[in-house]
């Protein structure tokens, strides 16, 4: 369907639209170019360990949240509270599992997972209700819930103590969500986080591209008032994007807990910015209406590869925020400039 859209509209689309495609293509090209440079300059870049373990596996959890965030941002919204939501979810996950450990892994793990997902969904629903049904500005709402959710995590952990499942066997069992994987040839395999990411990605693509919900999300980002007057239940759809994002936060929490075996109220500081940055660099505009999940994945990978390159070249972590900030700034500035040229 997409190719046929491009063909038919290519002659008629105006600057801004063709530019959007150009931008997405150029970021992909930049990504490939960086990878090529990296593989020439560094012997370890193009190794399975570096690509799969360092690049993808580390990015998988954040990537899942970025997928949820993409829904929100295509619908014209915004969510600053994702990192705090992850923290609450992981604290709930660890504490409930610890509490249930006498019941055995067969009970403790599923119930804890269910509880975690429920918490993620509820936190998303709180954001969604305030933003979509009551109409408070998403920036304000999620700035407040960012503080509140982290505060809740601190209260739950009795002042920010790092939580751990005391039952070592149960802890090892739960690590399955990070350590397991799909074995391929020659002793290598696809790690669990990537598998989970791929599943979420597939479901996300289906939701966004092939269902009424997805169409509505784009329509709301395109012109919310018009969609409302066309009989779309815009409140519900908008609220659902936040619920969806809360759900992805819960999944990310599962992966993080499986990786670190702990949960702390002070972890994941600033992750919301990485998530938002991936979505923006990928090409989903603030204000919504266009963009997509693939774009977000490319944006995330670009940020990861740059990060990875900085490590490979032994550039200190103190430079990373500057580099990341500059990249986002360049992408957004170029976007604004090109749009201005397209409109005159």
User: If binding is defined by CB under 8 A, does position 5 make contact with other proteins?
Assistant: yes
Interacting residue with other proteins among 12, 159, 186, 314 (CB under 8 A): 12
Q: List the structure tokens of 91.
A: 């604290």
Burial code of 154-167, b = ≥16 C-beta within 10 A, e = fewer? bebbeeeeebbbeb
Residue 239: how many other CB atoms lie within 10 Å: 22
Rounded to the nearest 5°, which phi and psi values hold at 328? -60, -45
- Closest distance of CB 13 from other proteins, Å: 6
Among 106, 225, 314, 317, binds other proteins (CB under 8 A): 225
- Report CA-CA distances (Å) from 57 to 32, 45, 84, 198, 261: 19, 15, 21, 11, 16
Nearer Cβ to other proteins, position 153 or 207? Answer: 207
Distance in angstroms between the alpha carbons of the first and the last residue of the chain: 31
Question: Tokens 């990015």 map to which residue?
Answer: 59
SS3 191: strand
Query: Contact between 223 and other proteins (CB under 8 A)?
Result: yes
Give the nearest distance from C-beta 6 to other proteins in angstroms.
9
For the record, the structure tokens of 285 come out as 């505009």
> Of the two residues 68 and 76, which places its CB atom closer to other proteins in the complex?
76
Among 14, 158, 159, 186, binds other proteins (CB under 8 A): 14
199 near other proteins, rule: CB under 8 A = no
218 binds other proteins (CB under 8 A): yes
Name residue 300's beta-bridge partners.
none
Q: Which of 36, 182, 230, 330 lies at the binding interface for other proteins (CB under 8 A)?
A: 230
Q: Which of 162, 173, 228, 338 binds other proteins (CB under 8 A)?
A: 228
Give the residues lining the site for other proteins (CB under 8 A). 1, 4-5, 8-9, 12-14, 17, 206, 210-216, 218-219, 221-223, 225-233, 289-290
């Amino acid at each position: 369907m997409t190719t046929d859209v491009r063909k038919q509209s290519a002659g008629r689309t105006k600057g801004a639209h063709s530019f959007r495609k150009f931008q997405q293509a150029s970021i992909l090209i930049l990504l490939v170019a960086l990878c090529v440079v990296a593989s020439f300059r560094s012997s370890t870049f193009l190794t399975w360990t570096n690509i799969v373990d360092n690049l993808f596996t580390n990015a998988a959890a954040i990537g899942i949240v970025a997928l949820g965030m993409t829904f929100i941002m295509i619908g014209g919204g915004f969510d600053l509270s994702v990192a705090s939501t992850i923290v609450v979810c992981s604290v709930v996950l660890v504490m409930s599992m610890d509490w249930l450990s006498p019941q055995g892994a067969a009970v403790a793990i599923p119930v804890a997972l269910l509880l975690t997902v429920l918490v993620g969904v509820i936190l998303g629903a709180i954001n969604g209700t305030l933003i979509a049904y009551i109409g408070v500005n998403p920036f304000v709402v999620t700035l407040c819930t960012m503080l509140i959710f982290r505060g809740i995590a601190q209260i739950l952990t009795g002042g920010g103590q790092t939580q751990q499942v005391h039952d070592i066997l149960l802890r090892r069992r739960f690590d399955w969500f990070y350590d397991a994987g799909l074995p391929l040839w020659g002793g290598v395999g696809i790690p669990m986080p990537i598998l989970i990411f791929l599943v979420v990605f597939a479901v996300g693509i289906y939701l966004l591209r092939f269902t009424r919900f997805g169409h509505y999300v784009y329509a709301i980002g395109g012109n919310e008032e018009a969609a409302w007057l066309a009989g779309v239940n815009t409140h519900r759809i908008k609220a659902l994007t936040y619920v969806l994002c809360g759900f992805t936060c819960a999944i990310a929490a599962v992966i993080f807990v499986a990786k670190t075996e702990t949960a702390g109220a002070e972890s994941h500081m600033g992750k919301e910015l990485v998530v938002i940055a991936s979505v923006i660099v990928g090409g989903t505009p603030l204000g919504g209406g266009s963009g997509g999940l693939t774009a977000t994945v490319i944006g995330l990978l670009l940020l990861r590869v740059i990060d990875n390159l900085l490590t490979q070249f032994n550039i200190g972590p103190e430079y990373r925020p500057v580099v990341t900030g500059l990249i986002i700034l360049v992408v957004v500035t170029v976007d604004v400039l090109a749009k201005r040229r397209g409109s005159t």
